[in-house]
Amino acid sequence: MLFVMWMSIVASIVAVFARVWQPVELEAYKAGTELAARRMLEVANQYKQEWLLQGKPAQIVVEGQAVPLTRYGWVPLVDEQEQFACQRWLALHYPDGKILDSSLQSVRERWINQAYQCEFNYDFKQIIVVYQKDKIQKISAEILSE
């Protein structure tokens, strides 16, 4: 009888902990996703700053690697043949590729309203979207709720 009582107490504590932990985990993933998007933007701005300092060349060299740039100073989302290069863009802006313990699951490439868009989908419904149109580059983060 005592064993059953202790087991029900332990089960109740575990259930409460699981219920409380879920929102905490969601907030951690939201924060991690936003932090990753900000880091990508920071790196993009570093590339653009270097591009300006070097007199706006077609490419810059970063850590021994040639990085092509658009005429507006952004790393393009497409290559010279106008094929999407989202994976290359991600490798240059966020080499780790993971958000907390969440891995990249898929990349969606789109051409919308004469703009290029790469959507990086991670575990736990995290999404980072990179949008480029002429002078404008936007990087946004979101988590899809269930």
pLDDT along the chain (146 residues), means of 10: 67 56 78 96 97 96 93 96 96 94 95 95 94 96 81
56 torsion bin: left (phi>0), alpha (psi -120 to 50), beta (else) = left
What is the number of structural domains in the chain? 1
Whole-number Å distance between alpha carbons of 139 and 132: 9
Contact call for residues 40 and 93 (beta carbons, < 8 A): yes
Range of the domain at 18: 2-143
Q: What is the pLDDT of residue 14?
A: 55
Q: What is the pLDDT of residue 4?
A: 67
Q: What is the pLDDT of residue 69?
A: 97
pTM beyond cutoff 0.95: no
Contact call for residues 63 and 75 (beta carbons, < 8 A): no
Closest CA to 82 of 58, 106, 111, 57: 111
Q: Would you give the end-to-end CA distance of the chain in angstroms?
A: 40
Q: What is the pLDDT of residue 98?
A: 93
Q: What is the pLDDT of residue 124?
A: 85
